[in-house]
Structure 1
Amino acid sequence: MFARGETILQLMERLAPKHYAVPEDKIGLQVGSAAKEVKRVLVALDVNQAVVREAVSLDAELIIAHHAVIYRPLAHLRTDTPSGALAAELLRRDIAVYISHTNLDTAEGGMNDWMAEALGLAGRDVLEEIHTDKLSKLVVFVPETHHEAVRNAMFAAGAGWIGNYSHCSFNIEGTGTFVPREGTDPFIGTAGKMEKAAEIRIETVVPDSARKAVIAAMLKAHPYEEVAYDLYSMDLKGRSFGLGRVGKLPSAETLEQFAERVKSALQVPFVRMVGDPAKPIRKVAVLGGSGSRYIRHASFAGADVLVTGDIDYHSAQDAEAAGLAIIDPGHNAEKIMKPKLAQWLNDQLRAKGYNTEVFASQIDTEPFKLR
């Protein structure tokens, strides 16, 4: 059994919900249709003609990429231009393209966490907060025989988090009453007669980002034909999500040593470095992509160094004046997402019983070369 495109995109949006993206970011399905069965998926950093040829060679029907294939508004779709020819080839081959960009950067277990893990950073915090989940309280009444199954289903779908504590709930024993009417098929009781049932009132917190999944899981696990539950809005804030990560190395090392760590961990042939090579480095800020505007954020967080791409001349001078070291491994360092995301998707699809295969692109889309 192969997954449909919509199912794969739902998995992607569970990892990296669209509302995690910065405003006006170009994300989502950009080319083709997801309303089809997908046997093979290709995960890429960028989409160019070489990546499309790779997808064709794999018989992939879907490309999931980090960088948008349509970034600027199109004034026309001419096949004698590079962008037009690329779109035409994708459509001709019936290959859909889905983009997960700053929402994947922001997501827990996404781009910036992958980069921080590769660098060995512990005790990570967000560099810039983008989104904070609002919390709701979910109350559901469950027969005693099924309350653990229902509660665990809600926890598995994302309910029950308070700070860094998971599986949080409050449970009260009580008696439920109801009269099954004509045409019902009650789990307990007989149509037309008052029924009393020993029930558990389960209360738990649900973040907005997981609300639909939690309610769906609760309804699926619940034995009743009609489920009695309430959802209350709360003023409390849940977990915060954002761009970049700040963490610490296991032990201090010089900037020069750390630069070698970055090259090895992010598999890049060179880095640009700002700062004294002998400077001790312990606290590290990392942000995939272009990070010039995050120099102040990194300094405010007390970082010794910022690892990010596309640092311009004047931003480098600003960092140097502020005493912040910079390691620029280039924008292409985000290629770390290809094997990580491919593995995550493969695991999710296998767990759901699908035979759809996910491959990490082997195409190097780095445009810069050293001479």
Structure 2
Amino acid sequence: MKKKALHMQTLLAHFATFAPKHYEMDGDKNGLMVGTLNKHVKRVMTALDVLEETIDEAIDEQVDLIIAHHPLLFRPLKQIDTSTAIGRIVSKALQHDITIYAAHTNLDVAQGGVNDLLAKQLNLTNTRVLVPTHTEAMQKLVVFVPMSHIEEVREALGQAGAGHIGEYSHCAFQTEGTGTFRPSVGANPYIGSAGKQEFVEEIRLETIVTKKQCKAVLTALKRAHPYEEPAYDVYSLEEPAEQLGLGRIGSVHEATNLNAYAQFVKEALQLQAVRVVGNGDTPIRKVAVLGGDGNKYVGAAKRAGADVLITGDVYYHVAQDALMDGFCLIDAGHHIEHVMKEGVASRLQAFVVQEGYDAEVFASTRSTDPFLFV
């Protein structure tokens, strides 16, 4: 089968099914940074930061689109001076028709985003949101599908964002039954003929979806469903409401102490070193993790019952306050957010393959960590 051309807006619309822009925190900068969204793409690269070496890698790899976590243009530019690093980045991107797109705090908040990826890397269990920021109204979708297409429809709904519960995706329930209908003279039925009552063995497929995602999920449903007029129902749910936010808190597999756990963090996140605050013999059972700057959330981690907070860019006086308060910190560095490169790339590549697009999504291989340990 010939592969389809992939439009950038199609890819980003799928990205928005799990990291929509409205998840962003106040004052954040997300979305288009440089270039255009109105083009087809064949090569897409995920990156933590967009530095000049990132652009050079994209040029070497003939990339059409960079999806970065940290915004290139966080503060307004008064001028584009090509003798500066930022000016050269913008200039090279435009010269080589490379679009730069940022997903910052919306990717921090998203299920399966930066903080979930970090929690998974650290083998945390029974995770929940550390700092709630959003509550999503939930809906139940019920659709009736002929047995011949149940796998295709179920996968399409999952890919569009339906059936996400905590650490699980593609959640659904199905029961068998008999569907009946009588096509009119003007109908073009997939099964049956005009004017004749039909009885078809069907599956009742049930799943959940956030209210904001429902439109995209229904579009995917209608595209995958073989019937001219699929039968489906959408019910509003009072509970549960999906809680989203910054950071995650969860349990370790077995109790340990701060010294041993810091060593584990260093190995799990492939770090040369970590900075540790606290008594090395402190028991560690519950762990909070928050990618990037977690200084404002030390108190939230302690109140949530964490024994230690893993984050980056811990300030000197914040560390002193935590030490005096008897709370443990592991400053693993801001660069730990690089887990998003492989995480986002693999998720988008799965969509590309599933939908049969002529494109490839891959992670940048160049480190943008500015620190060396000597």
Q: Shorter-normalised TM-score: what interval?
A: 0.7 to 0.9
Shift of 1:332: 1.2
8 Å CA contact 2:252–2:286 kept in 1: the answer is yes
Alignment of 1:167 with 2:172, yes or no, is: yes
8 Å CA contact 1:122–1:247 kept in 2: the answer is yes
Aligned to 2:275: 272
Identify which range, 43-52 or 27-36, moves more after superposition. Answer: 27-36
Secondary structure (helix, strand or coil) at the match of 1:338 reads: helix
Match of 1:58 among 33, 44, 61: 61
Aligned to 1:4: 7
Match of 1:110 among 109, 113, 123: 113
8 Å CA contact 1:160–1:169 kept in 2: the answer is no
Matched ranges for 1:63-102 at <5 A: 63-102=66-105
- Paired letter, 1:354: Y
Aligned to 1:361: 364
Identify which range, 269-278 or 8-17, moves more after superposition. Answer: 8-17
Provide the rounded CA distance (Å) in 1 between the counterparts of 2:358 and 2:232. 36
8 Å CA contact 2:178–2:199 kept in 1: the answer is no
Provide the rounded CA distance (Å) in 2 between the counterparts of 1:363 and 1:150. 37
Structure whose CA Rg is larger? 1
Aligned to 1:24: 27
Q: Kindly report the root-mean-square deviation, in angstroms, between the aligned alpha carbons of the 2 structures.
A: 3.1
Aligned to 2:341: 338
Aligned to 1:130: 133
- Paired letter, 2:172: H
Per-residue deviation, residues 68-112 of structure 1 (Å, max 9, x unmatched): 001012333333443233212211111111112222222222211
Alignment of 1:318 with 2:329, yes or no, is: no
Provide the rounded CA distance (Å) in 2 between the counterparts of 1:148 and 1:204. 12
Per-residue deviation, residues 321-362 of structure 1 (Å, max 9, x unmatched): 332100001111212222333333333322333342333223
In the superposition, relative to structure 1, how do residues 250 and 234 fare at CA in structure 2: closer, same or farther (>3 Å)? closer
Match of 1:239 among 233, 242, 253: 242
Provide the rounded CA distance (Å) in 2 between the counterparts of 1:124 and 1:278. 24
In the superposition, relative to structure 1, how do residues 149 and 203 fare at CA in structure 2: closer, same or farther (>3 Å)? closer
Per-residue deviation, residues 107-156 of structure 1 (Å, max 9, x unmatched): 222211221122222221111122222123445566x7679569746753
Shift of 1:189: 6.4
Alignment of 1:329 with 2:332, yes or no, is: yes
Provide the rounded CA distance (Å) in 1 between the counterparts of 2:286 and 2:174. 36
- Paired letter, 1:89: K
Identify which range, 127-136 or 218-227, moves more after superposition. Answer: 218-227
Provide the rounded CA distance (Å) in 1 between the counterparts of 2:179 and 2:362. 52
Provide the rounded CA distance (Å) in 2 between the counterparts of 1:242 and 1:115. 14
Provide the rounded CA distance (Å) in 1 between the counterparts of 2:365 and 2:196. 66
- Paired letter, 1:129: P
- Paired letter, 1:285: A
Identical pairs, percent: 43
Identify which range, 341-350 or 225-234, moves more after superposition. Answer: 225-234
8 Å CA contact 2:310–2:330 kept in 1: the answer is yes
Alignment of 1:286 with 2:295, yes or no, is: no
Aligned to 2:214: 211
Aligned to 1:156: 158
Aligned to 1:180: 184
Q: How many residues align?
A: 367
Aligned to 2:254: 251
8 Å CA contact 1:146–1:222 kept in 2: the answer is no
Shift of 1:205: 5.3
Provide the rounded CA distance (Å) in 2 between the counterparts of 1:170 and 1:283. 39
Aligned to 1:33: 36
In the superposition, relative to structure 1, how do residues 54 and 120 fare at CA in structure 2: closer, same or farther (>3 Å)? same
Identify which range, 133-142 or 62-71, moves more after superposition. Answer: 133-142
In the superposition, relative to structure 1, how do residues 161 and 350 fare at CA in structure 2: closer, same or farther (>3 Å)? closer
Identify which range, 133-142 or 300-309, moves more after superposition. Answer: 133-142
Provide the rounded CA distance (Å) in 2 between the counterparts of 1:151 and 1:61. 31
8 Å CA contact 2:176–2:201 kept in 1: the answer is no
Provide the rounded CA distance (Å) in 2 between the counterparts of 1:344 and 1:139. 25
Provide the rounded CA distance (Å) in 2 between the counterparts of 1:364 and 1:187. 52
Secondary structure (helix, strand or coil) at the match of 2:40 reads: coil
Provide the rounded CA distance (Å) in 2 between the counterparts of 1:337 and 1:312. 24
- Paired letter, 2:209: P
Aligned to 1:261: 264
- Paired letter, 1:130: T
8 Å CA contact 1:307–1:328 kept in 2: the answer is yes
In the superposition, relative to structure 1, how do residues 137 and 262 fare at CA in structure 2: closer, same or farther (>3 Å)? closer
In the superposition, relative to structure 1, how do residues 195 and 355 fare at CA in structure 2: closer, same or farther (>3 Å)? closer
8 Å CA contact 1:133–1:237 kept in 2: the answer is no
8 Å CA contact 2:312–2:331 kept in 1: the answer is yes
Secondary structure (helix, strand or coil) at the match of 2:16 reads: helix
Shift of 1:316: 1.3
Give the gaps of 5 or more residues in structure 2.
none
- Paired letter, 1:57: D
Structure-1-length-normalised TM-score: 0.85
